[in-house]
Chain A
Amino acid sequence: MLIPSRNRGGLSRRRFVTGLGAGGLMAALPRPLQAHTPAAGQVPPTARARWDLRVGRTRIEIDRKVLHAPCIGEDVPGPILRWRQGDTVSINVTNTLADEDTSIHWHGLRLPAAMDGVPGLSFAGIPPGETFTYRFPVTQSGTYWYHSHSGMQEAQGLYGAIVIDPPVPDPQPCARDYVILLSEWSDVSPMDMLSNLKMQDDYYVFRQRTLASLPREAREAGSTLAALKDRLAWSRMRMAATDIADVTGVIYTYLLNGHAPDMNWNALFSPGERVRLRFINGASMTFFDIRIPGLEMLVVAADGNAVEPVPVDEFRIGVAETYDVIVQPREARAYTIFAQSEDRTGYARGTLAPQPGMSGPIPPMDPRPVRTMVDMGMDDMKPGESMNGMAMPEHGHDMSASHSHSHLMPHHEGGTMDGMDMTGHAPQHPMGGMQPTTPQQTPHRHDTPTPRHEEGAMAGMDMADMQPAGHGHAMPMSEHRVDEPVHHQPAGRMHRPGAMDHDAPAPGTMPVLEVDDPGPPPLNVENQNIARMPTDRLGSPGDGLEHNGRRVLNYRQLRATRPGSDPRPPTREIIMHLTGNMERYIWGFNGRKFSESGPIRLRRNERVRFTLINDTMMEHPIHLHGMWSELENGQGAYRPYKHTLISQPGSKLSYLVTADAPGLWAYHCHLMLHMETGMFRTVIVE
């Protein structure tokens, strides 16, 4: 079972790339055998409504890794499909694979469930030799992508970009338009990766803390003792602070439009032109941090939807997300598009240049991130320290009461309802009163006060605020299993002088929000951690990007250009814990993998809030098929519409969904191996 590439484990990605010498020279060399269309990354000149795609396996060699890759049109990535909003597209997908089914899922598209392309949920897949015709009206515009949802074909090359023209002229006209599709390439099959990870969870991680790295850590921590203590803390939890990615550059070559770094994918510009770059993360396991040294990037769209432009130097793109950025290079020189993997074991790279074949300097990779207790949802606490040990300055109540209360108290002292944080973002300061030193927890971070109430009922808001923070996380286990929503609980739990009476919502308010809270996940075979104090990390660009001296995009900055189409407040909140056991390599929600849980049922047209609490120490890009996920990031009615949301480790976030698309839909973590090991649910809209 030894696959030759594993020998190459000895070479770090960086050494390997450096070993090739100047990238510029490589660009002049003939490319390897594989048939890359010269137009990789070029958006087709016109939109078409009819497409014929053939899925087959093709021998492709990239970076000396040979793979009989499942792909479309004998190329990785597949063709860029350009559509027009308002058209009804018709795509014939023919399966020419020898003995396996295939499927194409249109990621982020709103379409009838039968056209969504998930075997088992939408249709029965496309058997070998058969053709399936996808046919659906295109009701949206922007940058999207497609990929297989069968087996693990997506991880090996069955993916491509979708560009949809808006019916109106582009509000951000650009002289040039390129797709930048990032992905990975490996000759290790995804099944082998999974099998290896089941046996040894850090199989592909060669950046762990070791004796050799102790002196450096000691310098960073201030003393050897402090460094050792931190190690012991992690070791005690049986986790590793260096666990950033499950599969790394040890076996991956990171691709940009199907080009390895040394192949130097080129895009042309004339100085002064505005260039639109449509970034798509089509990787199966890798987050990328993207920058173009020397150029400011204007983020104009996220997941296909226009946002108020945000100028940034860098941004992180989670698996399956898309971002449109506009750059305006003014000098006639080469600019490097540098996309380093989150764990810094490699990068994808391309060049923006006035002439073909140029290459710019390649910056060194940043230090790899190291997880902290924030990622464990433990804030500043040491892992062994219990919450009971924490001093409660204002009241001597038990933890559960003061927990929820301390959150509201500072606001109540203001005396007005406006002082309360009504957006339903419990995550923002679950321990706000207690932990003033945490940088992310400033009591009032919403610069847009008006939209706060748009989301509705005060009682509902309070529920959302208090329930997860107070009830969900501080109670002893037995109390978590209560069935009733929180507003039916004895007043003693939530009622406090000055707090609102939840049983009697103010007259004229909207219906009460039902909170569907399973409580903290159990510590079981499938879950090894509980984020006791999940924090709001929407304002953080992510692990490894904080305080790096650059302007890095964060979720709080995303503001839609127009208000959301459904102003109704949610009538139900579904709290989902993202859980996993890295040691056993099992992932799931609420301590259960897919096969152990029934579906999530939504009523037709129901407005529902999903709250994600990430109890694991990894990022998870959570993707709901068929419906928008409207991120509640403090932008009120202008919350961004996304199809994939990064849930940061130890964090809590929420988003709204209008269940207006009947049928069976997939809901999952888009890290392929997490999905395949259970972080998946079926959503049924009835």
Chain B
Amino acid sequence: MRRVLLLAALLLPAAAPPAQACSQSQTTTTARKTATTAPRKSLPRPVYHAADAPTNAPVAYVGGMKPVMDQGRYFHGILDQLEGRYAPGGTDFRWDGEAWYGGDYNRLWLKSEGTLEHGRLHDGDHELLYSRAVSPYWNVQAGVRADIDDGPTRTWGALGVQGLALYQFEFQATAYVSDRGRFASRIEGSYDFLLTNRLILQPQAEFNLYTKSDPARQVGAGLSDVDAGLRLRYEVWRKFAPYVAVSYAGYLTQARRIVHDQQGESGALRLTFGVRSWF
């Protein structure tokens, strides 16, 4: 490694003169200054433009005041789902939301979801993620997930992407690895169809996949469960939107058999009422 660097250091001076000459002929003051102050390194030489100057020549702002505060941090939280899923035998309550704090690039995310079913908490899934903006529409997120509810607790490491796909699909895909060496994955997507500017139809779906079954948590290998909804919300104002929906929560493939063996309900389509809100 060191040898490579040395080689680069030897080669670079030879390669540098033409570039140097060019930057001098450009004679932006920045260019000249940086050429003299910054010794050549083995890093790719940054491009100096008057309009695109690097920040390494700091400006002496009066009183250290920056004229613009473009590094503000923000805090928002949204409950996409806060709903009652009606059934004759008893209504389930479900929440699904997230909150974040941070600036344009780095944010701390908290995601949480869960279902209260016959007095028992199911599908409790809580994640604490560091999120980094990497492209116009995408963020990479990494952190931990804890399945905390009335079932046995599981913890996972998480790595995923979150963002806006083509055609303005909201999309999240996360891979998880558990402390027991198992793998899992979750894919979520939603889309807003504007019927009017305030009446919005939103199909939404979440799929969970696992490499190994975990009967204690009603998890089967492969595609394990799905939670989907078609929600029609009315944005009374942006941050408060009651909705009606049909929702479906169900187990698939192996998980379906597991749940069936446990005399559980393997899937149900429910009439749902809820509120989407954020701050």
Q: Please list the residues of chain A having a beta carbon within 8 angstroms of any beta carbon in chain B.
A: 1-2, 6-7, 9-10, 118-125, 149, 194-196, 198-200, 203, 206-212, 232, 235-236, 238, 481-485, 488, 514, 516-518, 523-528, 572, 574-576, 581, 583-584, 586, 589-590, 592-603, 664, 666, 668, 675-678, 680-682, 684, 686
* B133 touches A (CB below 8 Å): yes
B100 to chain A, nearest CB (A): 9
Cα distance A321–B104 in the bound complex, in angstroms: 30
Known A483-B19, A483-B47, A583-B137: A598·B53 in contact at CB below 8 Å:
yes
Closest to B67 in A: A120
Known A516-B26, A676-B68: A209·B194 in contact at CB below 8 Å:
yes
Near A by CB (< 8 A), chain B positions 52-91 give 52-59, 61-72, 74, 76, 78
B5 to chain A, nearest CB (A): 23
Chain B residues lying within 8 Å of A678, measured Cβ to Cβ, are 68, 70
* B238 touches A (CB below 8 Å): yes
Q: Mark B200-235, 1 if CB is under 8 A from A, else 0.
A: 000000000000000000000000000000000000
The stretch of B161-169, B182-190, B254-262 in contact with A is: B161-169
B109 to chain A, nearest CB (A): 13
Closest to B104 in A: A586
CB-based contact B68/A195 at 8 Å: no
Q: Please list the residues of chain B having a beta carbon within 8 angstroms of any beta carbon in chain A.
A: 19, 22-23, 25-30, 45, 47-59, 61-72, 74, 76, 78, 104-105, 133-137, 164, 166-168, 193-198, 236-240, 278-279
Cα distance A572–B68 in the bound complex, in angstroms: 27
CB-based contact B197/A601 at 8 Å: no
CB-based contact A206/B197 at 8 Å: yes
CB-based contact B67/A6 at 8 Å: no
Closest to A119 in B: B65
A227 to chain B, nearest CB (A): 14
Cα distance A482–B48 in the bound complex, in angstroms: 10
CB-based contact B238/A675 at 8 Å: no
Name 15 extra pairs, CB < 8 A, besides A211-B193, A584-B136, A600-B53: A1-B279, A9-B237, A119-B63, A208-B197, A232-B167, A514-B28, A525-B104, A526-B104, A572-B28, A574-B51, A584-B104, A584-B133, A590-B49, A664-B61, A675-B68
Chain B residues lying within 8 Å of A194, measured Cβ to Cβ, are 72
A378 to chain B, nearest CB (A): 16
Closest to A521 in B: B52
Interface centre among A120, A122, A680 (most CB of B within 10 A): A120
Cα distance A525–B28 in the bound complex, in angstroms: 27
Closest to B70 in A: A678
Chain A residues lying within 8 Å of B22, measured Cβ to Cβ, are 482-485, 488
Chain B residues lying within 8 Å of A120, measured Cβ to Cβ, are 61-67
CB-based contact A598/B194 at 8 Å: no
Cα distance A207–B197 in the bound complex, in angstroms: 7
CB-based contact A682/B59 at 8 Å: yes
Cα distance A1–B134 in the bound complex, in angstroms: 30
Chain B residues lying within 8 Å of A575, measured Cβ to Cβ, are 51
Known A7-B237, A208-B194, A518-B49: A485·B26 in contact at CB below 8 Å:
yes
CB-based contact A485/B53 at 8 Å: no
Cα distance A80–B59 in the bound complex, in angstroms: 35
Chain B residues lying within 8 Å of A124, measured Cβ to Cβ, are 62-63, 65
Known A589-B51, A680-B68: A236·B167 in contact at CB below 8 Å:
yes
Chain A residues lying within 8 Å of B65, measured Cβ to Cβ, are 119-120, 124-125
Cα distance A410–B111 in the bound complex, in angstroms: 60
CB-based contact B62/A598 at 8 Å: no
Chain A residues lying within 8 Å of B136, measured Cβ to Cβ, are 238, 523-525, 527-528, 581, 583-584
Closest to A122 in B: B62
Contact of B237 among A6, A594, A597 (CB under 8 A): A6
Cα distance A338–B168 in the bound complex, in angstroms: 37
Closest to A118 in B: B67
B145 to chain A, nearest CB (A): 24
Known A120-B63, A121-B61, A523-B136: A516·B51 in contact at CB below 8 Å:
yes
Known A9-B238, A121-B62: A524·B67 in contact at CB below 8 Å:
no
CB-based contact A595/B66 at 8 Å: yes
A-B contact pairs, 14 of them (CB 8 A): A7-B236, A198-B74, A200-B238, A210-B196, A238-B168, A488-B25, A524-B136, A525-B136, A574-B51, A590-B51, A594-B68, A600-B53, A601-B28, A684-B59
Chain A residues lying within 8 Å of B56, measured Cβ to Cβ, are 598
Closest to A525 in B: B133
**10 closest pairs, A vs B, by CB?**
A484-B22, A598-B53, A120-B65, A124-B63, A678-B70, A210-B194, A528-B136, A518-B52, A120-B61, A601-B29
CB-based contact B67/A485 at 8 Å: no
A371 to chain B, nearest CB (A): 16
B75 to chain A, nearest CB (A): 8
CB-based contact A518/B51 at 8 Å: yes
CB-based contact B47/A525 at 8 Å: no
Cα distance A450–B168 in the bound complex, in angstroms: 51
Contact of A598 among B54, B71, B164, B193 (CB under 8 A): B54
Chain B residues lying within 8 Å of A583, measured Cβ to Cβ, are 136-137, 164
Chain B residues lying within 8 Å of A195, measured Cβ to Cβ, are 74, 76
CB-based contact A676/B69 at 8 Å: yes
Cα distance A3–B127 in the bound complex, in angstroms: 30
Contact of B76 among A199, A481, A584, A596 (CB under 8 A): A199
B36 to chain A, nearest CB (A): 14
CB-based contact A595/B238 at 8 Å: no
Chain B residues lying within 8 Å of A686, measured Cβ to Cβ, are 29
Closest to B69 in A: A676
CB-based contact A10/B236 at 8 Å: yes
Cα distance A380–B164 in the bound complex, in angstroms: 26
B116 to chain A, nearest CB (A): 26
Cα distance A207–B237 in the bound complex, in angstroms: 14
